[in-house]
Structure 1
Amino acid sequence: MKAFTTLKGIAALLDRANVDTDQIIPKQFLRKIERSGFGKHLFHDWRFLDDAGQKPNPDFELNAPRYQGANILITRDNFGCGSSREHAPWALEDYGFRCIIAPSFADIFFNNCFKNGMLPIVLDDKTVEAIFQEISPTPGAEISIDLEQQKVILPSGKEHSFEVDAFRKYCLLNGLDDIGLTLKKADKIAEFEEKNKKDVPWLYTKAV
């Protein structure tokens, strides 16, 4: 998993509350088992006018030229509600987003973001509205995220602090997902396996 330390980039504004996981990644695209390739289907029913995904909807916010290449998403309450599909953060990350800022998130989606190297930031409604007001008039406006200092830095220089669980912060800063955390104990695992082979050798005997 790629480490998350600081991030600076274009902030895309998605002025919608209660965006559920079926809107993030519709059910017809969940057939793959690998994590890659879901970005092209992100917000499919909103982004496109056709089922094949060939005709972009000019009225959808993220299709605006000003948001191309955005890696930070600013949105409204209860983002990621609905079913618990892990494909939702996969699609957002594959599209290019590494940070999402909202007043609230659905719990399962919130947890899945951390497990996939994304940083979901909770800021109160008033602060999120202030960010909307500052970013909206300026195409290409960039903001910065400093995970170590736990700060969101706006183009005006104004800073907003955010809370993040210490263990999750450690994992993001060091690029550790569940597999990475397990591999940090590789020596102890190997030591146990060698001892276990001596203690219960019959478990390691190949069947004839």
Structure 2
Amino acid sequence: MDRTVLPVGAPRAERADAVRNRLHLLATAREMLSEQGADRLTMDALAERADLGKGTVFRRFGTRAGIFQALLDHDERAFQEQVLGGLPPLGPGATPLDRLIAYGRARVGFLVGHREIARAALDGSQPVPAGAETPLSQMHIRMLLGQMHLGAADLDMLAVQLTAALDGPLLLYLSAAELTEAATRSEERIAQGWQDLVQRVCRS
């Protein structure tokens, strides 16, 4: 679900009124999500709660899934900043294997915390994961694999498979009850599973 890639260079300028509307809509969507849950957050309900025209909401998000994609993208940026420039082992400065383990553990925590938003952001009209860009997880995992000595392994495909192993269980296989009733225990089990997998796959 990590479609957003931190931009290189200055981002395209956004009109002041568009910025205000975007921030207002995101804040309103978060309020509704906290109060009512993801199922009650619709395009019409958001427009009414934000006191904006339906056309404004549709132009901003396109679809209901687009609301959740925008919420996720906003939080993704902060997560990516930690990955790209934070403290080791998640950020630069640790060994590639330690960074890969730390990335998976942090990503699991992020997805567990954003499980409602992440699932609602899946758009059935688009391939999974939604969006056209290469997921940041895949790019980051591929970079770290390239810094290891893994012989003749197909690192591009291995990165795809590890990305699926990291995101797939949370978004596609674990039930909402499993993630809600014992979120802390599930998070640690998934994180430990990721560490076990990576240590075996990346064994020299």
TM-score by length of 1: 0.31
Higher helix share: 2
Larger Rg: 1
Higher strand share: 1
